[in-house]
Structure 1
């Protein structure tokens, strides 16, 4: 398991849950004692409803039509996977319990319970808050942004380690960008057998990529005035898992 983490100025549970839903590329559905996994089948309508378009031969279609309306008949699971290769890449899991109704060429899911599990623990999110929340404004661009930072600017990541408490870097062999949202940037510190995360909050939230660029540049400017980068004990950890 990883070390304890710092989650300063982080998104709330409802916003984080909506971000997971918006960016997940697959979902697993458990209904009527069976489990199916779908890729690219879900979307979110303008009014916040979750819609699934499934193959005609899906057992879930029959289960949804026959299930009593108003009773929990399915559990949907979504995983939030870090776009940059790191140890333990799943950053959060989202579970939605509820029931389906057929609508035209898709199924509409009506959530009755929302549970978000993050490294800091699991949280039950009020359904109304979940429906009303919007995804983080950087969520759609996050994978591209983090991959670019890790691959094209490793020197910038190294410079940001100057902002990390030296004790948090004890035994570190690699530091990688793990997540970014409008509130801050999270770095994954990998050691030989363990890992921990450190969050670098922005001075104010970033509502778009242009503002994010300014926020990161401001962090780098702070880091440039904080002395030398922290020395790591090796070039990489024991591989990605």
Structure 2
């Protein structure tokens, strides 16, 4: 399974919604707290892009030389329609400063020095150490996951439904009309997580591991082909 540090770094470098919170700072519009770019430096610090006139930029600029604490909160929502769509939340806390010269005119880059982090997702709750986060690498599927899950859901619904054949005793019936709806809810280099929605709205998750971790789309296609073949047997 992906480590807590890898899962946190994947969310930081994904397109999931995020807000940067500074104690005592209030804004008129909530979107003023949302960075329009996120990246991770070689030491594990976060670099967050904002308009130069953002209240967060003003707070960081005025606090130069003082310690301004801040927390980046990330919410991960499944890109497909499924019960319980929030897949997880991550938070990274640290100290905020402005970094002139790294952004385009009219923009400012803020640096969030990594202090501590935690993630609460489909794998459970874990805390993340600075060194682990610094050394982690985002999952190679992060830039493609949303599109791939949507494609599987929209174009391969019948094949997804056959995965219930791999559930063993959890599969109540092999009859197609009684199979639970199978919705792909998460994807990473190790495997595919599917949410099975039964009659009455009850649901449960099943995890289908790939024979080997995938590194790119080509390897993912082969892994998915192998998975669907196993379900069809």
- Match in the other structure for 1:157: 160
| TM-score w.r.t. length of structure 2 | 0.84
Unaligned runs of 5+ in 2: 101-107
Higher RCO (C-alpha under 8 Å, 6+ residues apart): 1
Q: For residues 8-38 of structure 1, what are the alpha-carbon distances to aligned partners after superposition, in whole Å with 9 as ceiling and x for unaligned?
A: xx21111111111111343112113235544
| TM-score w.r.t. length of structure 1 | 0.81
- Match in the other structure for 1:7: none
- Match in the other structure for 1:211: 219
- Match in the other structure for 2:5: 14
- Match in the other structure for 2:111: 108
- Contact 2:64-2:97 at 8 Å conserved across structures: no
CA displacement at 1:46 relative to structure 2: 5.2
Distance 1:193 1:112 in 2: 41
Q: How many residues align?
A: 216
- Match in the other structure for 2:85: 89
Unaligned runs of 5+ in 1: 1-9, 226-241
- Match in the other structure for 1:34: 25
Q: For residues 32-51 of structure 1, what are the alpha-carbon distances to aligned partners after superposition, in whole Å with 9 as ceiling and x for unaligned?
A: 32355445523214524321
Distance 2:78 2:194 in 1: 11
CA displacement at 1:64 relative to structure 2: 1.7
Bigger mean CA deviation after superposition, 24-33 or 178-187: 24-33
CA displacement at 1:72 relative to structure 2: 6.0
CA displacement at 1:147 relative to structure 2: 0.8
RMSD of the alignment, in Å?
2.2
